[in-house]
Structure 1
Amino acid sequence: MGMLDSALLGMFLTQMMSAAAFSVIAPYYPSVASDKGLSGETIGLVFSCYPLAAWVTSPLIGVIATRFGRKRTFIAGALLVGVVTTAFALLPLFGYGMFTFLSFLQRLLQGVGGAAIGGASFAIIASGYKERMELMLGIQQSMTSLGMMLGPLIGTGLYYIGGFSFMFIALGCNFLAFIVYACWVLPQDKPYMKADAVVKIQHLMKNSGVMSVGIILIIAFMNLAALAPVFTEHLTTNYDVEKASAGFFFTIPSLSYACVVFIIGRIPQTVSRIKIMILGLYVMLLAMILAGPWIIIGIPRSLAIVVIGLILLGIGLALSILPAMPIMVKKAQEDMPYHNSEHISDAVTGLTLFCLYSGQILGPPISGFFSDKIGFENASVLIGSVSLIYAFIFTFTSKSLRPTIMQTLETPLYQEMVSAKKSELVINEEF
């Protein structure tokens, strides 16, 4: 079927609908919750339950996928998301106490299901599409971003047709239909599972090579998530953007990300993926400088410059994220040859999710705190500077870059400087 076979298509469409189910509550749930008496702070906590539940669950996903199978894990997660999405339709029937309890419970369960879907799909790609892992992971992330954008749009149409409850019933039923298709086309699990040979996420966290790449994932998603709590206010206050139009700006990084996916997929493997990731860190720094923009260094305050920053943010994210998982899998397999490579792939998917959600959890509070203290323009640069600092650290600690550094140290100019220094030492010793 060309680039995407039926298994990938079923998996990606299910993920897209799962992302839509995640994002569809944003425009309409707060007003219903306010009518039930929930405060703004409580509503914010309900929204934060999804990434928190996914973060807590992610270290277990690799173990679950190994013991029970990737397909079963994916389908179980999708069913959980589908049932919970449909159950949101019942919320208006309850009073304050039960409404609050069910809101937290359903959002937590939705996060668990989302983590299972994401982890299982990572593992399926890492195992079955090793030669095209970067491209497939990029398409997967692009489909997820598309779902995030489509959720509010689909929800708006359904809401105007039948209201809050109808919206979730229609979306949930459609999602369950995608699950049926995924059950039909997803490949059966390989007979590799052995409970006594499971690779846990703790094993990978002790591997400095794997974790050094994992930190890049944390930084990348922290930069993206940093926009969530303050960027709309920044646009409406400084650039007179209407709140109804602010959501468009959040889609810009996703669009530029999707474009870079296909470019990276065509870059020859002879080009160092480590260097591509480091380039991504530098691009993210530039993106955060322009997203303000940082007028202290003379950049004019212009909405066009902000848009350029958002475009660069998507490019930087793609350059940093897409090579990460293949490198982590390869590094773990090299350092743990006594483990089944399939077990390692499952464990790396759990670690990847853990890093992804860690960044999503860290970004908003850090951004909100520093924006209140020093303003968004300065806060965005401060967050972006983390990319710069880690780029330097990663450059000088990555073994794959050491040959390049050594070549620099072996240039004639450097050798001449060393010889001159040695001659100076000899002269000093003579005196």
Structure 2
Amino acid sequence: MGGHYSSGPDIKRNILQTPPNVICDTQKRMPSVYTSSFQKSYDTISDGTTSNDVNSDKNGNGSTKIQNGGSEPEITNGRVWTGTGSSENGKLLIALIAISQLFLFMSWSIIAPFLPPEASAKGASQTEIGFIFGIYSGVQFIVAPLWGKFIPVLGARFVFILGYIIAGATNVSFGFFDRIPSGNPFVATCLLARAFQGVGTSGVFTAAMTMVAYTFPNKIGRLVGLLEVFTGIGLMIGPFIGGVLYEYGGFSLPFVSLGCLMLLVSVILMFVLPKDSYTSTSKAGSFLPLLNIPGTWVGILSGFLAALTFLVLEPTLSLELEQFNLNSIQVGSVFLLLGLVYGFTSPFFGWLAEGRVSSRKLVIGGMLIAFVGYIILGPWPPLNLPNSLVLVCLGIVLISLAFGFSFAPCFQEILISARFNGMPSNVSTYGVLSGTFNSAFSLGSFVGPVVGGALVEAKGFSFLCSTIALINLLMLIISIAFSLWEFNFGRGRRKCIISRRFEYAEINEVDSEEVRLLSNATA
């Protein structure tokens, strides 16, 4: 299955379907990830077209004019995204998403330095405090697929702004929770507010990934990586700013100030964020065709594992660092390594994943680096390594590097597998893909801290590190074995589905989407 693209005033996606009696088929044109000729063909699959098909215009006779070279969408005649991606609207879109994610993830992390002691003073147990932190990601795991499913109906722009308003309003309301009675009322209110914050954040993140993937199909890797820089900055400076504002203004100031800033950004987005102006059948996307493709599960499970591997240290690392008698600034500097390394390497690895190095190789490489990092961080008892601060920092750098290796390539890997197996390049596909990736990542973000805290309490930090290292090693072996099978040991990639019942159906000419995405003009 593959896609054929023809563009002009109306861009239409015509999807060809595999014969109904074929579940797995070896495709000679798609070499193995283990062959030297992979890069050129991988560019073809990641675009959904050959390099000569990307730009095509119909002349007056209806014939197709082929232009060489890939391209990204831009505004043509102020209406349709069809060109090089260098337009002012394209730059504006990325800038707005980047700034929005900076404030959004500041709001996620701003509570870290002062909410635990405040909640404890209000009678919350350590378990309840853990759930106040964890429910944020737990709700995203549930809600993100729903946002992704209905983005074609609601519109990516609408979901993005609505999610931002929900997150901002929740932050403002959080600033008055110190006036709620202690005990269960305080805990229940905090849980409800963090749940709504997760709903809003999942909407913003899913819509952002959808817009980036649909608008810049040939630059997904580097742009997802670039946005991770702003996510990392938000996560790093959030606790610091939260601590400063709390010190000078008490419990309310951090929440109210950042929440009001986010609401102001929401108003600005209403006026300047490029509008959706695409026509479609207004049908919600379906996750079953995506989950029916075995190859997509490599990216989905790798995204879950990357989040778990990275965030399992959130509640556990500070306790391990106590043995080195570090002050709070030094402990913060060690945590800073986690954000700095992955934040500033993600764009590079995303750029590599755009066909220069296969995303499957990068994802597998990330598992290997995480395995080594956790063996050093523990350290693993059979190695008899000294438990020194230098080794701890080295392990953290490797773990953060592994996350940078995996994050953007995981998303790219799901997309490539979906396109190769016949899913169309339309907003429905990108919506369900973004929702699925966000859901998997959120589940890992929820499970990581919960499992990490439980294992450290029961068996100690070294056992936790050995367990996470083993999980990464097992996933590494499974991914390599599956890749060898899927790519037929270098002879060609198999088009493979789990069940014909959920195979993606052919799109008729009447139902095909006419793309008019993210245009400022009102047609």
User: Normalising TM by the smaller chain, what interval?
Assistant: 0.7 to 0.9
Aligned counterparts of 1:2 and 1:161: Cα–Cα separation in 2: 44
Q: Give the % identical residues.
A: 24
Higher relative contact order (CA 8 A, sep 6+): 2
| Alpha-carbon distance in structure 1 between the residues aligned to 2:201 and 2:351 | 30
> By how many angstroms is 1:367 displaced?
2.3
Structure 1 counterpart SS, 2:313: coil
Change (3 A) 1:45 1:131: same
**Match for residue 239 of structure 2?**
152
Q: Which residue of 2 aligns with 1:74?
A: 160
Classify the secondary structure of the residue corresponding to 2:218: helix
Q: 1:33 aligns with which of 101, 105, 119?
A: 119
Judged with a 3 Å threshold, the aligned counterparts in structure 2 of structure 1 residues 403 and 42 are, in CA distance, closer, same or farther, namely closer
Superposed displacement of residue 387, structure 1: 1.4
Letter aligned with residue 116 of structure 1: G
Selected match of 1:284 from 370, 383, 398: 370
Q: Secondary structure at the match of 2:176?
A: helix
Using the alignment, how far apart are the partners of 1:349 and 1:265 within structure 2? 16
Query: Which residue in 2 is equivalent to 1:332?
Result: 418
2:194 to 79, 92, 107: 107
Q: Distance in 2 between matches of 1:159 and 1:391?
A: 44
Question: CA distance change for structure 1 residues 2 and 188 in 2, over 3 Å: closer, same or farther?
Answer: closer
Task: Specify the code of the residue in structure 1 equivalent to 2:476.
Answer: A
Structure 1 unmatched ranges of 5 or more:
408-431
- Contact preservation (8 Å) 1:20, 1:148: yes
The answer to whether structure 1 residue 22 and structure 2 residue 108 are counterparts is yes
Map of 1:356-375 to 2, 5 A cutoff?
356-375=441-460
Q: CA deviation at 1:220?
A: 1.0
Going from structure 1 to structure 2, the CA distance change for 1:34 and 1:392 (only over 3 Å counts) comes to closer
Residue 405 of structure 2 corresponds to residue 319 of structure 1: yes
**1:182 lines up with 2:269 in the alignment:** yes
Residues 127-167 of structure 1: CA deviation (Å, up to 9, x unaligned): 11112111111121221121111111112222233221122
Structure 2 stretches lacking a partner, 5+ long: 1-85, 493-523
Which whole-Å deviations, capped at 9, do the CAs of 1:346-368 have from their partners, x for residues lacking one?
A: 11001101110121122223323
In 1, Cα distance between equivalents of 2:280 and 2:87: 30
Name the counterpart of 2:78.
none
Correspondence for 1:240 among 296, 320, 325? 325
Q: Displacement of 1:68 after TM fit? A: 0.3
Aligned to 2:315: 229
* CA 352–158 in structure 1, closer or farther in 2 if over 3 Å, else same: same
Cα RMSD, aligned residues only: 2.3
User: Does the Cα contact within 8 Å between 2:221 and 2:351 map onto a contact in 1?
Assistant: no
SS at match of 1:189: coil
Instruction: Find the aligned partners of 1:344 and 1:2 in 2 and give their Cα distance.
Output: 24
Q: Higher helix share goes to which structure?
A: 1
1:26-425 superposed matches below 5 A: 26-96=112-182, 97-196=184-283, 198-237=284-323, 239-243=324-328, 245-267=330-352, 269-337=355-423, 339=424, 341-398=426-483, 402=487
Q: Is the Cα contact below 8 Å between 1:52 and 1:361 reproduced in 2? A: yes
Which of the two has greater strand per residue?
Answer: 2
Q: Is contact 2:235–2:339 with CA below 8 Å preserved after alignment?
A: no
CA distance in 2, matches of 1:310, 1:153: 20
Shift in Å, 1:266: 4.6
Paired residues of 1:210 and 1:331 also in contact (CA < 8 A): yes
Contact map agreement 1:280 1:319 (CA 8 A) in 2: yes
Change (3 A) 1:99 1:378: closer
Report the CA distance between 1:287 and its aligned residue.
1.0
* 1:99-149 deviations in Å (ceiling 9; x for gaps): 333212111100101111111111011111112111111121221121111
Residue type of the partner of 1:135? R
Q: Is the 8 A contact 1:19 1:144 kept in 2?
A: yes
| Aligned-partner residue type, residue 120 of structure 1 | A
Alignment CA distance shift 1:138-1:379 (3 Å): same
Structure 1: which amino acid aligns with 2:235? M
Offset from partner CA, 1:280-326 (integer Å, 9 cap, x none): 11011011111222243132221111111111111111112211212
> Over residues 233-256 of structure 1, what are the superposed CA-to-partner deviations in whole Å (9 max), with x where a residue is unaligned?
11113x222355423322212211
Change beyond 3 A, Cα 1:364–1:136: same
Deviation at 1:12, TM superposition (A): 1.1
Residue identity matched to 2:155: G
Q: What letter is aligned with 2:467?
A: L
Distance in 1 between the 2:389 and 2:412 partners? 37
SS at match of 1:246: helix
What is the TM-score with the length of structure 2 in the denominator?
0.73
**Secondary structure of the residue that 2:372 maps to in structure 1?**
helix
SS at match of 2:314: coil
Letter in 2 for 1:144: T
Partner amino acid, structure 2, of 1:223: T
Determine if contact 1:213/1:324 at 8 Å carries over to the other structure. Answer: yes
List per-residue Cα deviations over 1:16-59 (Å, max 9, x = no partner): 11111111112222233233322222222222221111111111
Cα offset for 1:399? Answer: 5.7
* Contact 1:396–1:402 (Cα < 8 Å) also in 2: no
Contact 1:333 1:344 in 2 (8 A): no
- The alpha-carbon deviation at position 211 of structure 1 amounts to 1.3
Distance change (3 Å), C-alpha of 1:270 and 1:42 = closer
CA distance in 1, matches of 2:453, 2:150: 35
User: Where in structure 1 do 4 or more consecutive aligned residues deviate above 4 Å?
Assistant: 1-4, 403-407
- Matched residue type, 1:177: L
